[in-house]
């Protein structure tokens, strides 16, 4: 059974695997004539305590991320996606997408990237594994 999706959420963070997921999301949104929602998360663990407590710093980081996400929106529009928008969350990427962004935007498919890990790294959890396990919607993991 080939299902058409109406609203596709893709998580991006500039990693190679996320870019592969973004490219596939464009392809799938075009094929299904679906709305595409591009999400990124401002992760507080990447800031020091002083930065995290400084509203101006967080606002500046968020504004920079919003500007960056607009480039993804433009790429999707140039590729022919008619209905595309961006959303930003704050916190742990996996948890924020599952607990905040998905309930807010109500997609029927989540597309995320995952690096193919080798050796001992493959035994540890990843954001992709977390989202695939806890999402209450279909999840497509794109390996790079």
Q: What is the pLDDT along the chain (144 residues), one digit of tens a residue?
A: 467 899 999 999 888 889 999 999 999 999 999 999 999 998 765 555 555 555 555 556 788 889 999 999 999 999 999 999 999 998 888 999 999 999 999 999 999 998 765 554 444 458 888 999 999 999 999 987
pTM assigned to the model: 0.86
Q: Domain 7-143 sits in which CATH superfamily? A: HUPs (3.40.50.620)
d(CA 110, CA 130) in angstroms, rounded, equals 12
**Domain locations in the chain as residue ranges:** 7-143
């Amino acid at each position: 059974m080939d299902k058409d999706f109406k609203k596709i959420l893709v998580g991006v963070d500039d990693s190679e695997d996320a870019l592969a997921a973004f490219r596939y999301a464009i392809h799938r949104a075009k094929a299904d004539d679906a709305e595409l929602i591009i999400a990124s998360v401002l992760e507080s663990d990447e800031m020091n305590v002083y930065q995290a407590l400084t509203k101006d710093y967080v606002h500046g980081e968020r504004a920079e991320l919003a500007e960056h996400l607009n480039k993804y929106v433009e790429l999707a529009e140039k590729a022919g996606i008619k209905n595309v928008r961006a959303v930003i969350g704050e916190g742990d990427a996996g948890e924020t997408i599952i607990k905040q962004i998905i309930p807010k935007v109500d997609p029927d498919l989540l597309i995320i990237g995952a690096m193919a890990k080798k050796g001992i790294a493959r035994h540890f959890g990843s954001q992709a594994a977390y989202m695939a396990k806890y999402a209450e919607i279909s999840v497509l993991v794109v390996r790079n």
